[in-house]
Amino acid sequence: MARENQSVVTEFIFEGLSSQPRTQAVLFIVFLGLYLFTMVGNITIITVIRADCQLHSPMYFFLANLSFVDICYISSNIPQMLVNLLAKKKTISFSGCGAQMYFCLAFGMTECVLLGVMAYDRYMAICHPLRYTAVMNRKLCTQMVVASWASSLLSSMVINILTLRLPFCGPDTLNHYFCEVPAVLALACTDTALTGLVVFIFSILILFIPFLLIITSYAHILSTILKIQSARAQSKAFSTCGSHLMVVTVFYGTAICMYMNPKSRRPQDRDKVVAVFYTIVTPVLNPLIYSLRSKDMKRALRRAMSRPKSLFI
C-alpha cells in the first residue's frame, strides 16, 4: 500500500525563496554571482595548493579537500535554484529530488567531518609540534579524508532510503528552494517519527561527534597558547586557527539548528533562511576567509599570479 501511495507523487513543486518576479530576478543575479565566485575561489585554492610545493602540508591538503567538497556542495543545489528562479513552474521529478537530497546531505556531512579533522590537525600542530610530522603523515591524512567521504556517503544513503520509502500522496509543494530531508519529510502522508529519529541519530554521529572533536581540540589549543610567553608566537598560533573557527561557527551553528532537533516547530520559512547559511554562505566564505587570513596562501597566490602558466601545468 505504501508503494502505491508513494507513486501518486511523481514530482515536487518548489515554493522557493520568493514568489515575487522582481525579487526572483534580484535573487538570480545575487546567487549566480555567489556561485561563480565560489567556483572560481575554490578552484583557485585547489590549483594553487597543488602547484605550490610550499603548501604541500597536511593543513593545506585538508583545505584543498574542503574546497573540493564546497564545489560539490554548492553545485548540488544552486544550479537547480537558479533554474527555478527563471522558470514559471518550479518542479523537480521524484527521482531528481531523491538524488539532490542524497548529494546535498552527503556533501554537507563530509564538510562536517572534514572540519573536525582540520581541528585535530591544528591540535597536533600546536599542542604536539615535535610529533606533528610523524603523526600527520600522508597516509594518515589520506585515510582521514577517505573516512570522511565514506562515512558521509553511507549515512546519507541510509537516510535517503528511509525517507524515499515513505508514502507521498500529496501535497507535492516543497516549502524550500531545494530538496532537503526535513522539508521532504513534512510532505509524507504517514507518521515520520521513526525516520525523524533516525535522522536525529545520524545527525548526532555526523554533526555532533566532529563538533565535540572541534571543541575538545580547541580547548587544548587554547590552553597551550595561553602558556606561550611570546606575544608574537601567541598571535601566530591564533592566526592559524582563526579561519577555521570562523567557518566552523557559521556552518555548525546553522546546521545544528536544522538537524539536531528531531521534530522542529520552527516556521519552514525560517528553515530556508537557515539553510542558505550552511549550503551557500559557508562555501562562499571559505575561499575568502582562508585566502585573506592565511599569509602562506596570500604569498602563494602572489607567486602564482607572477607566473600564471604554472597554475595549469
| pLDDT value at residue 82 | 92
| pLDDT value at residue 29 | 94
Highest CATH level, class, for 2-312: mainly alpha
| pLDDT value at residue 294 | 67
Domain boundaries, the chain: 2-312
Question: Distance between alpha carbon 207 and the CA centroid of its chain, in Å?
Answer: 11
C-alpha–C-alpha distance, residues 178 and 280, integer Å: 12
| pLDDT value at residue 292 | 59
| pLDDT value at residue 1 | 39
Mean pLDDT for back-to-back runs of 10 residues, the chain (313 residues): 54 85 91 93 89 86 92 92 88 92 92 91 90 92 95 92 87 86 87 84 82 90 83 71 77 68 53 79 80 69 66 48
| pLDDT value at residue 6 | 44
Q: At CB < 8 A and 24+ separation, what contacts does 207-212 make?
A: 207/109, 207/112, 207/252, 207/255, 207/256, 207/259, 207/260, 208/256, 208/260, 209/116, 210/112, 210/113, 210/115, 210/116, 210/117, 210/119, 211/112, 211/116, 211/252, 211/256
